[in-house]
A and B are shown apart, each in its own frame.
With several copies, the nearest count.
Chain A
Amino acid sequence: MSQLDDIAAIRAEFPQLARLIHGKPLVYFDNANTAQKPRAVIDAVSSYYTEHNANVARAVHTLGEEATTLYEAARDKLARFVGARSREEVVFTRGTTESINLVAYSFLRPTLKPGDEILVSRMEHHANIVPWQLIAAETGAKVVPAPITETGELDVDGMIALMNERTRLVGLTHVSNALGTINPVERIIAAAKARGVPSLIDGSQAAPHFRVDVAALDCDFYVLTGHKLFGPTGTGALIAKRAHLDAMPPFMGGGEMIRKVSFDGTTFNDPPHKFEPGTPNIAGFIGLGAAIDWLNAVGMDAIAARETMLRDRMLDALRGVDGLRLIGAARERAAVFSFVVEGAHAHDIATLLDHEGVAVRSGHHCTHPTMQFFGVPATVRASLSFYNTEDEIAAFLTALAKVRRMLA
């Protein structure tokens, strides 16, 4: 018995799922872009602002203590949720993008030399490419793309073959946001470790869908973003080995990240605070804590099981659509589907599906190199979450057929 058996009750906890779009019930299939929020998250944010609003780690008054307690509790919750070794390993950021830039600026850049290599797969999100390009351009290092296959899977041996004595970091997405592929990150982490190369795993699309255990993965850095994890916008985390955080110089400077400031010299605080200067997104992280509580109550294993069912239904359905080409056919995959349709442009499909109430994304999904690899400028992407239903899959198929008739 899982709470997910009563899916109507679960959906009722997500107010936006009740919205009408052009008079039709919303079918939200854009979860890989951002997730909807349960009432518990929305309420946690509101109640911070109506009852506990104060700055953190500064004031000794009741409100300040309450805000600090709630904010730091969110760190404990996230640490446990992803299996971090300790709460000090969890640095709060604005999202995955900032997490990766933090690693680029504070971990890699200070020692990067001409000829050094940063190895990432060809299916990375721009967030796991551009930060490395920026520091590479500055230092003369280079970003090396690891091959992927026609089925949209990582060429594991190909990636490992590219690891060499110049490789300074290996970056890989846990789940591809464009293709849905679940990568065998353990194998890449192990191969990197065997060569003494630190690894960074982009968990943006993994954490919302199945149980993640950072300590078991034993990667050096794991990054994720809160808004895809049913939490507020402007939240995310870098989970890093403590030894790295201790050794890394600060990224940004300001209040809270210091122990003592003077014009003769400044000393820094301990991690994670060393990397969290200034007033953080307090309400956002309190909301993220509420999202994690909610996910724990429902159970990540139940969520993963339901999504596997939805994935299989959707895959069957899409395979039955004439003239539809799935981009990516990985065996290990999430309920994320990119496709193109003969004679119809992705944007037209997305706009016209929206007229039927169906929200999907069209475009390059911030993965230009992946699109280039598959020779398509853009795809339509339908990405599902546990709160989606088989009825919604049926509604999507009906809408897609109608849209194609219009464009034919």
Chain B
Amino acid sequence: MSAHPSTLYSETVLAHNRAPHNCGCLADATHHGLAENALCGDRLELSLRMRGDTIEVAMFDGESCAITTACASMLTGMLRDAPRTTPATLRAAMVAMFRGDADAPGEFAAFAELRHHPARQRCALLPFDAALAAMQPKE
């Protein structure tokens, strides 16, 4: 049931993990979102600066595995000046990819191997869930 292993930890993923983009705390964030992974206890926080329906900047913070870290690194890159609908759209594309329906756009295709690792899929979805949590109306 498992495909060739090396493709899960591709050079793309490992490189993002070694030197993640947009890692840290966004000082002038307007929105914060947290997502947790019950399986490993990982927590990922995403902070956004939004103007209207546009995400201007996104940064992430937290202890996380290479899959989560690389995915958060890619996502925060994609969210620069992106419409607020982007996290939901991309998450749906990821889930479709895990089902084997189609590849996710851009660098996210690096996670295609997760279709053979259901236990790790949650790791890649964590940054999306944190972004969605951030934009959830609070009170």
Contacts and interface: CB of A to CB of B under 8 A. Distances in A.
Interface stretch (B36-44, B50-58, B71-79): B36-44
Interface string A341-355: 000011110011011
B27 interface: no
Chain A: interface residue count, which band?
20 to 34
B117 A65 contact: yes
B41 A355 contact: no
Contacts of B2: 21-22, 62, 65-66
A64 B1 CA distance: 11
Given A22-B5, A407-B14, A348 B67 contact: yes
Contacts of B47: none
A269 B38 contact: yes
A36 B56 CA distance: 53
A368 B120 contact: no
Interface in A29-83: 57-60, 62, 64-66, 68-69
A195 interface: no
Contacts of B116: 65
A21 B3 CA distance: 11
Given A65-B1, A348-B67, A407-B17, A60 B38 contact: no
A347 B42 CA distance: 10
A259 interface: yes
A51 to B, nearest CB: 11
B69 to A, nearest CB: 8
Interface in A9-40: 21-22
Contacts of A64: 119
Contacts of A180: none
A362 B117 contact: no
Interface string B19-38: 00000000000000000101
A21 B5 CA distance: 10
A209 B8 CA distance: 36
A58 B38 CA distance: 10
A380 to B, nearest CB: 11
A364 interface: yes
B102 interface: no
B104 interface: no
A65 B66 contact: no
Interface of A: 21-22, 57-60, 62, 64-66, 68-69, 258-260, 269, 345-348, 351-352, 354-355, 362-364, 368, 371, 377-378, 406-408
Interface of B: 1-2, 4-6, 8-9, 14, 17-18, 36, 38-43, 63-67, 116-120, 123
26 contacts: A21-B2, A22-B2, A22-B5, A57-B119, A58-B39, A60-B39, A65-B2, A65-B117, A65-B118, A260-B38, A269-B38, A345-B42, A345-B64, A345-B65, A346-B40, A347-B65, A348-B9, A351-B120, A352-B5, A363-B39, A363-B40, A364-B41, A368-B41, A377-B41, A406-B9, A407-B17
